[in-house]
Chains A and B, each alone.
Chain A
Amino acid sequence: MKRVLHLMKKELLELRQDPRLFSIVILAPIIQLSVLGYAATTDVKDIPLAIVDADRSTASRQLVHRFEGSANFKIVAMPGSTSDIDSYLDSGKAWMVLSIPPDYGRKVGAGRPTTIQLVADGTDSNSTGVALGYAQALIGGYVQDLAAAAAPGQPVTGLVQPEIQVWFNPRLESRDFMIPGIVALLLLVITTNLSAMAIVREKETGTLEQLNVTPLARWELITGKLLPYAFIGIIDVVLVLIVAIYWFEVPMRGSIPLLFGMCLIYLLATLGLGLFVSTISQTQQQAMMTSIFFFLTPMIYLSGFIFPIENMPRWIQPFTYLIPLRYFLVIVRGIFQKGIGLEILWPQAVALFAWGLGMLTLATLRSSKRLG
């Protein structure tokens, strides 16, 4: 055990010689979380909209006014005719073009059906779908107001009324969903990298051979490499949680101590992963490429961070069970947004713990003190 302490001390001393590393691992998460937390929003605002009003009647101007007043849209141009709209959409200056036909006002006044055209840039299918929804809702609301004005007292709003309640996130604030995810991701990226270089660095300089000749046991090597980075990881956890809860004010409905405990288990998994990568790489370049290509990137995309797992093809979904980030996302989002506790989250916690332990075991087995 004392040997582990010596190893830890040496590791920290080595890290201290490049003080920039410390500022990076401490400052970077805060900065990244701050910037990315603001950026990762699926709310669609200020959609650039161009309107072609071929009618120019009171009625059409009313409609235009509705769009002007909406926070979701930003009117960037009012071209004279529909022949101009190509350039707006091609260049991306406008995402949508609303085209009001010349006989609009007349038809509305006479109670005859009329059609408005909405041309949308489909390249960003995600936002476009939402934007179209907004536009249709806006027009729908406008229609209802017109109907109410024309025939007060009549049940024009339809026989069946939907009342839609959104649980856990009534403001539909996507940030509350994204930020816990970013916290998980940042911790993964930083701590995995730290530990991934740990053993492979000594391979490159030759000091690993020297260690192999000493009585230092494999598990002592792995533990001694793990603990210093675990300390750094814990500091990072505290920092990002502070930023998430107090700066972004992501609602925290669950237990903070539980969250902290879960983060520790998560660190076990991420550091274990890094150490494992370290034992299968010969150079630091290899460690870097292996961890980025084969671990970090798949984890980011397939863990349910942004892309829902339910949407993935059936045969891919079982593989996502291999990704520790998947479990941690469920845990962290559950604690933040749903306020659930260990009685519901225990399967994820166990899975995460098992993953971490498994990785560390693999790393220990792979770091043989003697070549075959």
Chain B
Amino acid sequence: MRKTLAVASKELRQILRDQRSLLILLFVPAFFLLLYGYALNFDIRNVTLAVQDKDRSTKSRELVSSFVNSGYFSLVGYVDAPAELDRLVDLGRVRSILSIPAGFERDLSMRKPVTVQVIIDGDNANTASTVSGYARTLINEFSGAQMQLTSPGPASRPPVPVISVEPRIWYNPQLRSTLFLVPGLIAYISMITAVVSTALSVVREKERGTMEQVRMAPLSPLPYIIGKTMPYLVISFVSAILVILSAMLLFDLPMRGSWLLLCGAIGLFLIGAQAQGLLISTIAETQQVAFQVALLSSLLPTMILSGFIFPISSMPIVVQWITHIVPARYFLVALRSIVLKGADITAFWQEMVALAIFATVALGLASLRLSREWA
């Protein structure tokens, strides 16, 4: 125990000497949460729209108005030539086109069904499907209003079922994507910070040759590893709390659950993340390799495989299996449960166990690896 503290205090002293790195680790994460939380969202507004209005009637202008007034679309201009439309979409100036055929108003007044074309730039499939949903809804509403106006009378109407859907959204009633993204950002930033701080720690000593001296001491691998992690754990923990507090302050991130559970989840997660960095550090021979592996195992996987942005249930089964070794996945579930759902531990105890297993395995492998080297 005392040896562990000795290693820890030496490491701490080294950290304190590298003030630039320390400041980065403590404050940059919170700053980035501020930046990204503010900059990023999925809500789709102001979709650029070009209108090809071949009718130019009062009715067609009404339809266009309904699009513009919805707030979803932002009118770029009226365009007639198809070639020009092509060019605008190719250049990316316009993401959607509303094409109203000639005779629109006339057909409507005669109660003849008429077709209106909406063309959507599908390169971003995500936004495309939402935008087509908006367009569809707007047109349906317009259509419904027209039907009311030209209705022939109650007698001629057969008993058509009218089923309406009342959606209710829990935890995030306005579907603010910020509330969805911010926990993910927290997980991402914490993960990166934790891995980065430990990934080079052991391998640096290997490269410089100072490892030799450590081996001379009667110190077994496990206390050494724990000692090395402890200062970084404290720093990462403080940093994570700063990040969460910033999120609550600046983005109205609610806190509906227990702080104790939250700290517990953060702690487990960070231990696992740092253990991952340490494991990398014990396996790599040069700092270059350690850096490369740390990057590849944390940067993109945490972003894409953790359920941060892309729902895991939509991924192919094989990939879903792979996500089981991404600790951010579990943390995200726990975090969202505590913060947004206010759930107690019964809702996510499995995730906590998984985090604990991850941390234990990673630490174990790291000390195993180190003891083999020291032997």
Contacts and interface: CB of A to CB of B under 8 A. Distances in A.
Q: Are chains A and B touching in the complex at the 8 Å CB cutoff?
A: yes
B129 A116 contact: no
B235 interface: no
Contacts of B340: 123
Nearest to A290: B24
Interface residues on A, range: 35 or more
Contacts of A39: 304-305, 310, 315, 319, 322-323
B293 interface: yes
- Interface majority SS (helix, strand, loop, mixed), chain A: helix
Contacts of B82: none
A249 interface: no
A136 interface: yes
A36 B44 CA distance: 25
Contacts of A143: 161-163
A170 to B, nearest CB: 7
Given A41-B310, A123-B172, A162 B140 contact: yes
Interface in B136-191: 136, 139-140, 142-144, 146-147, 150, 158-173, 175-177, 179-180, 183
A298 B158 CA distance: 59
Contacts of B177: 125-126
Contact of A47 (B123, B142, B313): B313
Interface string B307-320: 00111011110110
Interface residues of B, number: 123
B285 to A, nearest CB: 6
A122 B118 contact: no
Interface string B119-147: 11111111111101101100110111011
Contacts of A333: 123
B170 A163 contact: no
A316 interface: yes
B69 interface: no
A129 B284 CA distance: 44
Interface in A280-310: 283-286, 288-289, 292-293, 296-298, 300-302, 306-308, 310
Given A159-B143, A165-B120, A120 B24 contact: no
B337 interface: yes
Contacts, number: 368
A103 B368 CA distance: 65
B165 A139 contact: yes
Contact of A158 (B133, B144, B314): B144
B125 A18 contact: no
A310 B74 CA distance: 12
Interface string B87-100: 00111100000000
Given A18-B285, A92-B347, A159-B113, A288 B196 contact: yes
A161 interface: yes
Interface string A17-51: 01011001100100010011011111111111000
Contact of B169 (A120, A160, A161, A172): A120
Interface in A185-223: 185-186, 189-190, 193-194, 196-197, 201, 204
A127 B143 CA distance: 28
A6 B362 CA distance: 42
B148 to A, nearest CB: 10
Contacts of B291: 193, 196-197, 284, 288
22 contacts: A18-B286, A24-B296, A28-B296, A38-B315, A40-B310, A90-B341, A115-B165, A130-B129, A139-B165, A155-B111, A162-B136, A164-B136, A168-B122, A190-B292, A190-B295, A201-B287, A284-B200, A285-B21, A285-B200, A288-B196, A288-B291, A301-B39
User: Which 8 A-B pairs give the minimum distances between C-beta atoms?
Assistant: A111-B159, A122-B172, A169-B122, A174-B125, A160-B143, A166-B122, A42-B126, A151-B158
Interface of A: 18, 20-21, 24-25, 28, 32, 35-36, 38-48, 87, 89-92, 108, 110-130, 132-133, 135-137, 139, 142-143, 146-147, 150-151, 154-170, 172-174, 176-177, 182, 185-186, 189-190, 193-194, 196-197, 201, 204, 283-286, 288-289, 292-293, 296-298, 300-302, 306-308, 310-313, 316, 330, 333-334, 337-338, 340, 344
